[in-house]
Amino acid sequence: MADNPFHPESAIQLTVQPAADGRRAERRRALLGAKLVYGDGAFTTDCVVRDLSTTGARVKLPEGQAVPENVFLVELRSGVAYAARVVWKRHPLIGLAFIEQRDLRTADTPLLLFMKRLWIEHAERSGI
């Protein structure tokens, strides 16, 4: 799982485009509901995406919540899952660097199917 957290045949590789301020990618402010999934799907945590780019995100965690170095970020509005690595922590905020992303509509592994269920359950509760 360390080399390729998703099914290798259908992974979407992220592209990096330079931003005007010298960052690796253009960042946009966001206020998106999301879930962090880790421990091969054994654990989930609600969170809020505060900034988002093609290469990473700034995420706000609930008070007192800790997460491991490798996580999946499930963006609940669009149904996209990102394999990510925690690159900085300033509790309650963490910075994630995306490794790759997958559209959950095409989920094809047990872990992706689990994340797809999380996304669908959220959409049903929210009336989306």
- What's the DSSP call for residue 122? H
Q: What is the CATH number of the domain that holds 105?
A: 2.40.10.220
Q: In the prediction, which pLDDT does 35 show?
A: 97
Q: In the prediction, which pLDDT does 24 show?
A: 56
Total structural domains in the chain?
1
**Does 79 fall in a domain?**
yes
What is the chain's length? 128
Question: Mean pLDDT in runs of 10 for the chain (128 residues)?
Answer: 46 41 59 93 96 96 95 96 98 97 96 97 85
Range of the domain at 52: 8-126
Residue 46's contacts (CB-CB under 8 Å, 6 or more residues apart) are: 33, 34, 35, 62
Q: In the prediction, which pLDDT does 11 show?
A: 40
The residue with tokens 């959409």 is 123
**Does 3 fall in a domain?**
no
